Structure formats: C-alpha cells, structure tokens
Amino acid sequence: MKRWDADQESVAETPDLAALAALLADRTRAAICMALLDGGTWTAGELAEYAAVAPSTTTEHLNLLVSGGLLAEERQGRRRYVRLAGPETAETLENLAGLAPYRQVPIRSLAEANHRRALHHARTCYDHIAGALGVAIAEAMTERGLLARDYGLVLTAAGADWLAALGIPDAAPPAAHRAHVRTCLDWTVRRQHLSGAVGAALYRHALERDWVVKAVATRILTLTAAGRAAFRAQLGLPDEALFPSLALPAPRT
C-alpha cells in the first residue's frame, strides 16, 4: 500500500453550494431566473425591461448566470437569447422558491391583484403545470392510484394505462435525458406538483387539447371550460381547484 506523500498535490471535487447560492443572492438575478421559469427564450433587452434595470446591468447578470450554469444562451447576429439550462434547473429553482421565506410586496391595483390570483391558481413551471391546479392534479393522481409513493412518486401501471387512454402513450417509457416522474415543491401552495417527463407530457396534452391557454409574456395558465370538464371527469377535481380563488392568497411569514 502506497504511503501518503504530504508534498504531493492532490485535488478532489465537491459541490460548491455556496457558489450557487451567491448566484441567486441578488434579487435581479433571482427575478430573471423566475421569469425564465415560463420555459421560453428571452432576449437580454426583454429581461432588462422585465427586471427594470439598465441593459448593461442585465448583461452583467446574464454573464454570471450563464457562466454559473443556470442559463444557456444563443446568439443570432447582435441579439442574445437566454433560457434556463434545462428542466432540472427549473425544478431546482421552483423547489428553492418553495423553501424560501416570503417577503411582502405591495399590490397597488386591481389588475395586479388579479394577476396574483391567476398566478397562484395555474401557471407554468418551465414545461409542466404548477400552482393550485398542478398540486391538485398530482394529489388526485396519487389518490386514484395513478401515481404511487415509493422513495418519491412513481407512475403505476394504472397510471400508464390512463395516460395512454388520454392519447399520451409516449409518456409511459422513461425519457433517457430526465426523470420519468418528479415533483416540485410549489412555491405558492407549499405542496408538491407533478414534474418530470410525465408532467411535461400532461402539460403538452392540455395545451394541444385547449384545456389550458398560456398567456403571452407570462407564466399564467387559464383553464378553459373544456379543461375544467376534462379534469373534473378524468381526475374528479373539485371546483376550488378548477377556478381561481376570489380572495388573494393570505400573506405568509
């Protein structure tokens, strides 16, 4: 057995959680990441306007987020497009948001109040359904035996049959590049919603069947009459899961 040479250089790798935390410790960078949870690709100018900061400041933040691995970029001529690095990044951000403490922000108009209600009810989390609707879907699928808890959620045989009956047969085999079934800790409800390949497939199906409509330049999803009927028939979702609450979500600490 070789003896350890104290003079010999040796390097080991360990996750640098502090570096990730530092990337998200700035409110502007955090806001940029939350905006990109819509699953879209934004220009640097659009993000500057969204975050209400100067374009030069936005560029500095984007450089850090790209080099830190949270964002991916693409350049076309003079335009710079950025998006989240992938679904795993989105799930990590949503889970972190679910663990983060709340801070109070003023609501100054009826339009802003309605926006908050809609965001709480149904929104995208990158490529799957989040909010109260997303949580209700995950819980109903579990109650009906379509999902089972076995060191995390797994799709059951009944669940695979249910997806196939809906016309989503491609969701049954696990995707090679991501987890088959995962959950995110929903930051508005503080319970789990469905993500992973199955969550993404269900969201695509809902879009294609016009069960939900995604608003332009926002993460908000609007559940249509057809969608309410479908989720009520397929999963027995109650009205409180199918309609936005008339009251604003209660402040939390």
User: Does the residue 98 lie in any domain?
Assistant: no
Q: How many residues does the chain have?
A: 253
**Cβ(198)–Cβ(183) below 8 Å:** no
* Residue 14 binned pLDDT confidence (cut-offs 50, 70, 90): confident
User: Does the residue 217 lie in any domain?
Assistant: yes
Q: What is the pLDDT of residues 107-142, one digit of tens each?
A: 888 888 888 899 899 999 999 999 999 999 999 999
Percent of the chain with pLDDT over 70: 89
147 contacts: CB under 8 Å, gap ≥ 6: 138, 141, 153, 154, 155, 156, 159, 181, 194
User: Who has greater pLDDT, 99 or 144?
Assistant: 144
Residue 83: pLDDT over 70: yes
User: Who has greater pLDDT, 148 or 180?
Assistant: 148
Same domain, 54 and 124: no
Residue 153: pLDDT over 90: no
Residue 177 is predicted with a pLDDT of 56
Residue 148: pLDDT over 70: yes
Q: What is the pLDDT of residues 161-210, one digit of tens each?
A: 999 999 987 664 454 556 788 888 898 888 999 998 899 999 999 999 99
Residue 207: count other Cβ atoms within 10 Å of its Cβ: 16
Residue 173 is predicted with a pLDDT of 46
Q: What domain range is 68 assigned to?
A: 18-85
User: Does the residue 104 lie in any domain?
Assistant: no
| Domains: count for the chain | 2
